[in-house]
Amino acid sequence: MTLSIHRAVLGPLENNVYFLVDDESGDSVLIDPSFEPQIQLRLASEQGWQLRQIWLTHGHYDHIAGAKTVSEAFFPPLPIAMHPESFEWAAAQPEMMKIGRRIDHVPRLDIPLAQGMWLDVVANGSRKLVEVRDVSGHSPGSVLFYVPDLKIAVVGDAIFRGSIGRTDLEGSDHALLLKNIREQIYTLPDETTLLPGHGPATTVGFEKANNPFVRG
């Protein structure tokens, strides 16, 4: 088994959308399907990736915008994985009208995520390929997906190169975010590449040494 990760930058907020792929089988997971879901579906089809699941790092509209469309493009619909706190927070928000677009809520919570869970690229698979870590603070129930074989972690909006996620939003908690960065991100190996929801990749080691908001 060989895993690979692929990025597409989509939408008005330049969201990073990730495809985690088992290169041998073509089975794949779509992480944080943002705007332009038809482009995401086309990319998967053109590459021969068989989408099996959707994983969401958190419930902000720009990270879930395409979840309903992508999931329901298949029969049965692709299962959606999300932390229950994140799902409940998103569901409690009023009609999501942002930057001139209507955003569909996440239609279902099929796989409740929790700290310490291990995931496979195939729903109900038995391989422990991806670890879930709780990095709440930017929003309730935020998680990262750590892939030891690739030495990467998809971190959503918890941390960026030289910065951290906003904590002036509803449901944010600045102190909790700093705590979780130290305990859940900075405890990963220094060579781990961090793949954020926006902007360029970074590494654990670089952020521990240089991030002005939280040093390691």
Which CATH number is 91's domain given? Answer: 3.60.15.10
With respect to residue 132, please indicate whether it lies within any of the assigned structural domains.
yes
Backbone Cα Rg of the chain: 16
With respect to residue 23, please indicate whether it lies within any of the assigned structural domains.
yes
Report the mean per-residue pLDDT for the chain. Answer: 92
Residue 111 and residue 87 in contact, taking contact as beta carbons nearer than 8 Å: no
With respect to residue 141, please indicate whether it lies within any of the assigned structural domains.
yes
With respect to residue 67, please indicate whether it lies within any of the assigned structural domains.
yes
With respect to residue 194, please indicate whether it lies within any of the assigned structural domains.
yes
| pLDDT bucket at 171, cuts 50 / 70 / 90 | confident
With respect to residue 215, please indicate whether it lies within any of the assigned structural domains.
no
pLDDT value at residue 103: 67
Section 122-132 average pLDDT: 86
Place of tokens 């469309």: 69
With respect to residue 216, please indicate whether it lies within any of the assigned structural domains.
no
> Which residue segment(s) compose the domain that 66 sits in?
3-210
> Helix or strand or coil: residue 4?
strand
Residue 14 and residue 160 in contact, taking contact as beta carbons nearer than 8 Å: no
Residue 181 pLDDT exceeds 70: yes
| pLDDT bucket at 99, cuts 50 / 70 / 90 | very low
For the record, the structure tokens of 189 come out as 């190996």
Q: Alpha-carbon distance 215 to 112, whole Å?
A: 31
Section 144-158 average pLDDT: 98
The residue with greater pLDDT, 90 or 120, is 120
pLDDT value at residue 97: 45
| pLDDT bucket at 200, cuts 50 / 70 / 90 | very high
Overall domain count for the chain: 1
What's the DSSP call for residue 182?
A: I
Per DSSP, helices labelled H in the chain are 37-47, 61-64, 67-71, 84-92, 174-180, 204-210
